[in-house]
Amino acid sequence: MIEHTPWRGQNYESGIGGQRIAVVGYSHHRGPSQSDCEDFTEDVVRCVIEGQQERESFFGPIRGYFGYDDNATFWNRVLFFNFLPDCIGVTDQRYETGSPSQIVQGKRRFLRIIQEEAGEARILLGTNFPKFSWGTYAAGKHTVMAFGLRHPQFANSQLMQLAVRDILTMRA
């Protein structure tokens, strides 16, 4: 099975407001003429940064939730990967959930990427965001906070911006 290499922005260590941020999507889909490969995620983010991405239903809104107008500045400050390790399929399959083997590999992938060593806790983000949850993972000598937000397609951008602002003020 192919596994996409995560995008690691050149300024990831500096992060946003001094915090290293990982944006985790669910899956990539590809066009009929595209092939799946290890560099798929990195290639997609490069296209976003260079303004070659055709659709802006994911990358543009997420950038905006953090208050950035410029793709290069934002995406070069974050780590980005998808839960599923490879493409879910071609464009008409983009809303699929992934095969059982992709999901198993995705769980391993997520934990490996954040260097999981201990358990997690999941609680709701707060009364202003009743459907968003978060949890923590012990990853070596540090704690990783993970937030479950909705996909930006059809999301209320003002609500998402407020949620991201609240998240950025939290400390593990």
State pLDDT tens for residues 37-80. Answer: 899 989 999 999 998 876 677 898 999 989 999 999 999 999 99
Domain assignment present for residue 101? The answer is yes
Domain assignment present for residue 16? The answer is yes
How far is it, in rounded angstroms, from Cα 146 to Cα 121?
Answer: 10
Range of the domain at 13: 7-169
* pLDDT value, residue 165: 85
* pLDDT value, residue 152: 79
* pLDDT value, residue 45: 94
State how many domains the chain has: 1
Scan for tokens 């998402």, then name that residue: 160
* pLDDT value, residue 9: 95
Q: 135 with 123: CB under 8 angstroms?
A: yes
C-alpha distances (whole Å) from 107 to each of 25, 61, 130, 161 are 13, 26, 25, 27
Is the pTM of the predicted complex or chain greater than 0.85? no
Domain assignment present for residue 2? The answer is no
* pLDDT value, residue 67: 92
Q: E strand or H helix at 147, and its extent? A: strand 142-148
Domain assignment present for residue 131? The answer is yes
Q: Which residues does the chain have with pLDDT short of 70?
A: 54-55, 89-95, 115-131, 171-172
Residue 137's φ and ψ, nearest 5 degrees, are -130, 135
Residue 21's φ and ψ, nearest 5 degrees, are -115, 130
Alpha-carbon Rg for the chain, nearest whole angstrom, is: 16
Domain assignment present for residue 1? The answer is no
